[in-house]
A = this chain, B = another copy of it.
Amino acid sequence: MNQLTSSASRVAATGEGIGLDELLLAGRNHAMPLEALRYDVTPAGLHYLLTHYDIPFVDEATFRLHVEGRRSFDLDMDDVRSRPRVSRPVTFECAGNGRARFQPRPVSQPWLDGAVGTAEWAGTPLAPLLREVGFDESSVDVVFTGCDHGMEYGSEQDYARALPLADALGDDVLLAYEMNGQPLLPQHGAPLRVVVPGWYGMTQVKWLRDIRIVDTTFAGFYNATAYRLKQHVDDVGEPVTRIAPRALMVPPGFPDFMTRTRVVDRGDHVLTGKAWSGWAPVRRVQLSADGGATWWDAELDPPASRWAWQGWRSPWTPESPGTYALCVRADDEAGNQQPTDQSWNRQGLSNTSVQRVEVVVR
């Protein structure tokens, strides 16, 4: 079964194009087209999407959520919906966003910039449920298991991710059954998923079937092996957790179909976009029109909500024709900022190198 055992992911050779394995992933998992940064809430189907295995079909009629701590119980969707309901806009981003821009490129889902989106998530707070099943001082992690099933490094598993108990008890953590005022779409985890605001996408377990409070640090694949910042395959590495700050702009002008180069008319423009950080509110967004040599500050829109991206805007008036490299970067109130150089790692995670949009002014 050699063709199954995708072992530790490969790093592409210099100049090596995207292979069939990466293209198979890229065709399934889709980014948000950057012009959709205009929307405060991303419309259905434009939100980024990453699915490790297949999208499972979960029959709501027979669905039960198992919750286990010192006690345990099962809930059906009527039970879940009868609990207190809250709704909030939350920005999600894949931890691998930017992976395909790393040099050299770690071979996996080849994201460029757009693995992000913001939805209005509605559901019931998690913390009261955890208190109902009970925990004590020896409790460490909460393990969330989905119905999505596949193979990793030769080992068969359902997708499972643990969150430290203290984080799972956060006021803003939800079990969500609605997205943008509609029942969850199949690909976004129907009928029920976790929403942990501020954390990268691997935390937001979809098709959730099991919640378990455990007394030892969870050693499952997606905590112990994947989603860790490593330089070498056998490093233990640090886990990625919260979303590092990033700003993205709506590419101005219009594109050439094949090259995707942007054409912009000389004169007055307003550059716009969004910025976010899972660590602290956005403090500043800066723009450059010369590839990062010089920067100016954009104006921030009033924040709409702690966990949703924040709008920004800035006038830009290119006076002379030619090629410009527009860049944007954000930093947050905790002092985190986007790096000037890539901070390369073996799994291609959290590449928040600044966005660069080449435009031709005519």
Q: List A residues at the B interface (Cβ < 8 Å).
A: 1, 3-6, 9, 16-19, 21-28, 30-31, 33, 35-36, 38, 43-47, 49, 51-55, 57, 100, 107-108, 110-112, 114, 149-152, 156, 185-188, 251, 254-261, 263, 323, 358, 360, 362
Contacts and interface: CB of A to CB of B under 8 A. Distances in A.
A30 B48 CA distance: 11
A23 B185 contact: no
Q: Most chain-B Cβ atoms within 10 A of its Cβ — which of A53, A151, A358? A: A151
A152 B257 contact: yes
B23 A33 contact: no
A254 B53 contact: yes
Contacts of A47: 45
A24 B36 CA distance: 15
A282 B358 CA distance: 47
What is the count of identical protomers in the complex?
Answer: 2
Contacts of A111: 27
A100 B360 contact: no
A114 B31 contact: no
B360 A3 contact: yes
B57 A151 contact: no
A5 to B, nearest CB: 8
B21 A23 contact: no
A3 B322 CA distance: 11
Nearest to A323: B3
A186 B44 CA distance: 9
A40 B152 CA distance: 31
Contact of A112 (B27, B30, B38, B54): B27
